[in-house]
Structure 1
Amino acid sequence: MNNSKMNKTLFAVAMTSIVSSASVFAADDVKHEPAKLYVSVGKIDQTADEYIPEPAGFELTFGGDINDYLGVSLSFAKADETYNTVLAETTTFGINVDLGKKFDVNEDFQIKPYGLVGIKETEFTLSNSYAEASDSSAYMGFGLGVRATFKQALVIGFEYVSNSASDDYFPDYDQTKWFVGYQF
């Protein structure tokens, strides 16, 4: 097993352990408030290996924190890149669960560092002026992020996610995202 696959396997085991222990955080001493929902839009960059175009684009996310520790989100992403007259496009739908501790720095500022795990369906399309080909694959994503909330409304954050394809035919890829949103 190469180092990249081993690192991803270890990371997957660690994140699965963290997420599966979420019931510990649902104990009576956890503060239960109404869910805080947010919507955000972000700039994404995707990287794979040197032979694959690296598309950039946007991601629209709708999510919420169930409590101070656990959150869930739905996302839609679209990215593209032109490489030697070939247009490479990706369209992704996904669901993520994040686990971390929200810290109330003061009444106007909260910050939440977190780990996340998610499932995505990504469609790849390659096209030029002569032909077009597309296919899709399911991906498992593991990552880290941080989200800051100002005045209980403005949300700003960053995420890094490593996505592993369910099929060896498709490339694994990493994604970084800067985002801004509104919490209500």
Structure 2
Amino acid sequence: MKLALTTTIATALLSTSAIANTFESQHRIGLGYTSTDISHPSVDGTADWGNGIKLEYGYEFNRIVGINASYGTNKDSDGAYGLNTKLEGTSIKFDTDIGYKFLLDGFSIKPYGAIGLVHYSEKQTISYGQASASDTWNDTNIFIGTGVRAEFGHNIYTDLRFDFTYFDNEVIELDYDQFSFTVGYKF
């Protein structure tokens, strides 16, 4: 009787860990849309800072922790009364996301929080007639974010994300908020 009980308990414990450990780490790559807004701490309101594309790579270690690397662009232009402004920016981000992937019938969903490092480069050009002036700046800072990733079937995913960064240096003091939506392939 003791042998049967011991065997039953051992089998139950081993199969529980085998079932709980069915997650396989996954790579993913995606392409998406990004939109950037800025706000200055001493000025009310936000300004549209352009839209662009985003290329991202991610790797999930388990249902909770993943890492991400992305490259995004934002471009915008505006003009009135002969005065034209052109903006071109890029961001490179490395981060980790922490959440929990819920497995549902045919798809999964993972709400998460993210923290990482962003390097942002920007060039602004202002022109009036034949005259023009340009200004560039680069900065690196920590950012935080929140998002939700949905996976459909075995290979398709979408990611909806908001990232928040604050730049404060001799040249600029701004809040940068980025929204992105990515569709990609996981393998």
TM-score by length of 1: 0.77
Give unpaired runs (5+ residues) of structure 1.
Answer: 1-27
1:180 counterpart = 2:169 = no
Q: Which segments of structure 1 move beyond 6 Å, counting only runs of 4 or more?
A: none
Structure-2 separation of matches of 1:140 and 1:124: 17
TM-score by length of 2: 0.76
The CA RMSD over aligned residues, in Å, is 2.1
Decide which of 111, 114, 132 is 2:112's aligned counterpart.
114
Give the 5 Å matches for 1:123-134. 123-129=121-127, 130-134=132-136
Q: Specify the code of the residue in structure 2 equivalent to 1:140.
A: I
Give unpaired runs (5+ residues) of structure 2.
Answer: 1-16, 40-44
Query: Residues 142, 51 of structure 1: CA spacing in aligned structure 2 closer, same or farther, 3 A cutoff?
Result: closer
Give the 5 Å matches for 1:127-166. 127-129=125-127, 130-165=132-167
Matched-pair contact (CA < 8 Å) for 1:115–1:145: yes
Matched-pair contact (CA < 8 Å) for 1:63–1:71: yes
Tell me the alpha carbon deviations over residues 96-126 of structure 1, each in whole angstroms, 9 at most, x when there is no partner: 10000011103x3111110001111000100
Matched-pair contact (CA < 8 Å) for 1:143–1:161: yes
Matched-pair contact (CA < 8 Å) for 1:138–1:166: no
Query: C-alpha displacement at 1:132, in angstroms?
Result: 1.9
Q: Specify the code of the residue in structure 2 equivalent to 1:44.
A: T
Give the 5 Å matches for 1:75-90. 75-84=70-79, 85-90=84-89
Q: Specify the code of the residue in structure 2 equivalent to 1:74.
A: A
Decide which of 37, 45, 52 is 2:27's aligned counterpart.
37
Q: Equivalent pairs: percent with the same residue?
A: 23
Tell me the alpha carbon deviations over residues 8-66 of structure 1, each in whole angstroms, 9 at most, x when there is no partner: xxxxxxxxxxxxxxxxxxxx897374420100111111111257552111110001111
1:55 counterpart = 2:54 = no
- Choose between structure 1 and 2: higher strand proportion: 2
Task: Tell me the matched-pair count.
Answer: 156
